[in-house]
Structure 1
Amino acid sequence: MTRLRVLHLVDDTTAGGVMRVIDHLLTAPELAAQADHELRTVARGGIGPGRLKADVIVSHLAVSWRALPMLALLRLCNPRARLIHVEHSYTEAFVAECVPRKGRFTRLLRTAYRLFDTVVAVSAAQGAWLARIGAVRTGALRVIRSTVDTAPFRALPRPAGPVRVFGAIGRLDRQKGFDTLIAAFRQVEREDIALHIYGEGPEKAALEALAGADPRIRFMGFAANPAEAFAAVDCVAMPSRWEAYGLVALEALAAGRSLLVNPVDGLQDHVATGAVAARAPSAEAWAALITCTAESREARPDAPMPTSLPLWQALIAGTDTQAGQGAGEPSAGPRAA
């Protein structure tokens, strides 16, 4: 029997969450037993890869007006392949924060997504938003949460005692909301807590200026081994302005760390497995949450670590029956995460 050939397309191989998710899909034994997976890099907004030798083509590409001709050509040149698009980037909060012409942007998504047989949302909150704005045609939307190997984080010793070291882990740019976190931390009048910020990025100088001379706030630089950063903190804070899913959240929970999140986008998905949401994405709300967390004496029990690989197996085999229902169904409930 001929094995399925699955080709993953990417237009940005910068080290980060998306590439870690793709690498996990390419190397997972469960998926390798089912099909041959291959990765191909294409030029962003280029002419397109033409006819491809694949039964299933998985797009991890950035959707834009410039990329539409390439996506259309991908569909035209591969009429017998099943085309799947994974939406790693766009979310409700991203549109609210970054998109001035929202109606035009919705038309872009509807136009692009109709070129694919299936569109995968990487969180229930993102999937609910895509369904609500009518971006994906009925029956074509699936929710498969992003996942990576969490074994190195599950192997870490669990923190003992109250939370004293708060950690912020990620690229230092506006999306991550570390400016809000620093402002909140400086409002908390406790000398026995610290904030360690792991990462590099364009906002570093501005964040250092915001931290001022507060000795409790330390910039730790890039964490080449993320597990070491998690091992050094008791709690992980994610005040992101938008976040499609949030691998740092998955890793924090796997490591048994307390997890604080903003009530936006895919960060809402992690509340069910132990995250605590700020009342609002403001410095005042975060200051209250930090204070409450530092005063708490309750140990956080280990949460079960769900895997998305069975959903990927079913989708690749064409046997999935999710279609917006069952496991991974987009939540229509309150978006407070």
Structure 2
Amino acid sequence: MTVIRVTHLVDDTTAGGVMRVISHMMTTPDLTREADHSLLEVKRNRLCIGRVEADVIVSHLAISWRLLPLLAALRVMNPTARLVHVEHSYTKCFTALNVRRKRRFGALLKLSYALFHDVVAVSAAQGKWLRDEGFVRPAALHVIPSCVGLSAFRELAPPEGAVKTIGAIGRLEPQKGFDILIKAFRELSDPGIALHIYGQGAEETLLRDLAAGDHRIHFKGFASDPVAAMADLDAVVMSSRWEAYGLVAIETLAAGRRLLVSNVDGLTDHLPHGAALVDGAGIKPWQSALEELFAAPPRPRGPRHAHNYESHFSDCWKSLFLSPVIASQ
């Protein structure tokens, strides 16, 4: 059997969701049996990376006008390789909140995606947005939800009793909406509850100021062991302003914890698997949702969430690697 050579292009190797997904792709047996994976770091502002010795080149790069010449050169210099782009970043809510010149941004996405044979959306909601906006040809668009290994999360003991300790996990940046979460939590009067915040980022000082004086709120720093962090929590809350998918969500559900999510982008993909929706932006909807969460009776003992995220992820990528290439525009 011929093993496919797959090279993953990245422009940021710092610890985070994208690198965890790539690491899973490069090490999970279901995919290493089909392909020999390698990683190539692309320095930002480069105009060309030359010829890549691979049958499939998977871009995990952040699309930008500066990147466009490199993508065009990649296509020209690798005419026999299958080019795949995974859109980890851009979503409908990101665009609404962060992009001022939306038509220009849309042109960037269409031009960039047209250089690839395939474009992978990491959630159904993101895929719908890409399709509805006409950014990607329907035949080139694939929805493959991001994934990491979840077996250690499934092995965690389920929480006992009512919810007392909730967690927020992610970069301390405006995207995650931790400012709204802290303000909503502080409206609750119960002295026996706690909010644990895991992560680092530019907003840490601001968030600590918002939490000042409330000894129920604890900043835990970067969670080097996400399984151990999850073990200390009864529930997880994701108050993001935009989110392509949210690995924390599948980790939470695999661990049998309750999950609250904002009504944005890929977070809505988790509703069929047990997440609860906080419908509405701002402090009041989150305050109400937290009150309901802490007041909820303990869950009865029963079988753990059964969805096999890993198998679906591997099956989708194997299908993409092995399917015929459809000529791009």
Q: 5 Å matches for 1:193-204?
A: 193-204=193-204
Say whether the 8 Å CA contact 2:160–2:298 is kept in structure 1.
Answer: no
Equivalent residue number for residue 328 of structure 1 = none
1:199 offset after TM fit, Å? Answer: 1.4
Looking at structure 1, the residues matched to 138 and 197 of structure 2 have their Cα atoms a distance apart, in angstroms, of 42
Query: Could you report, residue by residue, the CA deviation over 1:256-311 in whole angstroms, capped at 9, with x for unpaired residues?
Result: 11101100011111111110010212110000000001111151763223231100
Determine if the alignment matches structure 1 residue 37 to structure 2 residue 37.
yes
Q: Distance in 1 between matches of 2:324 and 2:72?
A: 26
Whole-Å Cα distance in 2 between the matches of residues 143 and 102 of structure 1?
23
CA RMSD in angstroms, aligned pairs only = 1.5
- Residue 214 of structure 1 and its aligned partner are, at CA, apart by 1.1
| Higher deviation after alignment, 262-271 or 302-311 | 302-311
Separation in 1, partners of 2:324, 2:110: 25
Secondary structure in 1 aligned to 2:309?
A: coil
Structure 1: unaligned runs, 5 residues or longer: 322-337
CA contact (8 A) 1:254 1:305 kept: no
Contact 2:117/2:325 (<8 A) preserved: no
What residue number does 2:308 align with?
305
* Alpha-carbon separation, structure 2, partners of 1:190 and 1:103: 48
Larger CA deviation: 41-50 vs 241-250: 41-50
Match of 1:329 in 2: none
The CA deviation at 1:320 is 9.9
Quick check: 33-42 or 110-119, which moved more? 33-42
CA offsets per residue over residues 162-212 of structure 1, 9 Å max, x none?
Answer: 101111111111111000000000112222211111112111111111112
Question: What is the match of residue 116 of structure 2?
Answer: 116
Q: Does 1:318 align with 2:320?
A: no
Distance 2:221 2:282 in 1: 25
Percentage of matched positions with identical amino acids: 53
Q: Which residue of 2 aligns with 1:206?
A: 206
Match of 2:179 in 1: 179
Instruction: Provide the C-alpha distance between the structure 2 equivalents of 1:201 and 1:36, rounded to a whole number of angstroms.
Output: 34
Q: Distance in 2 between matches of 1:98 and 1:115?
A: 25
Amino acid corresponding to residue 318 of structure 1 in structure 2: S
**Letter paired with 1:187:** E
- Given the two structures, how large is their TM-score scaled by the length of structure 1? 0.92
Count residues with an aligned counterpart: 321
Report matched runs for 1:113-192 at 5 Å. Answer: 113-192=113-192
| Distance in structure 1 (CA, Å) of the matches to 2:192 and 2:308 | 32
Matched residue, 2:26? 26
**Per the alignment, in what secondary structure is the counterpart of residue 139 of structure 1?**
helix
8 Å CA contact 1:246, 1:267 repeated in 2? yes
Work out the CA distance in 2 between the residues paired with 1:101 and 1:83: 28
Q: Which runs of 4+ in 1 moved over 6 A?
A: none
CA distances 1:66-87 after superposition (whole Å, capped 9, x unpaired): 0000000000111111110000
**1:91 equivalent in structure 2:** 91
Stretch deviating more after TM superposition (111-120 or 222-231): 222-231
Q: Which amino acid aligns with 1:92?
A: K
Is the contact made by 1:12 and 1:44 (CA closer than 8 Å) also made in structure 2? Answer: no
Counterpart in the other structure of 1:13: 13
**Distance (whole Å) between structure 1 residues aligned to residue 222 and residue 41 of structure 2:** 26
Please state whether the residue corresponding to 2:192 is helix, strand or coil: coil
How far is 1:217 from its partner? Answer: 1.1
Give yes or no for contact 2:198–2:223 (8 Å, CA) kept in 1: yes
Comparing 69-78 with 46-55, greater Cα deviation is found at 46-55
TM-score (norm 2): 0.95
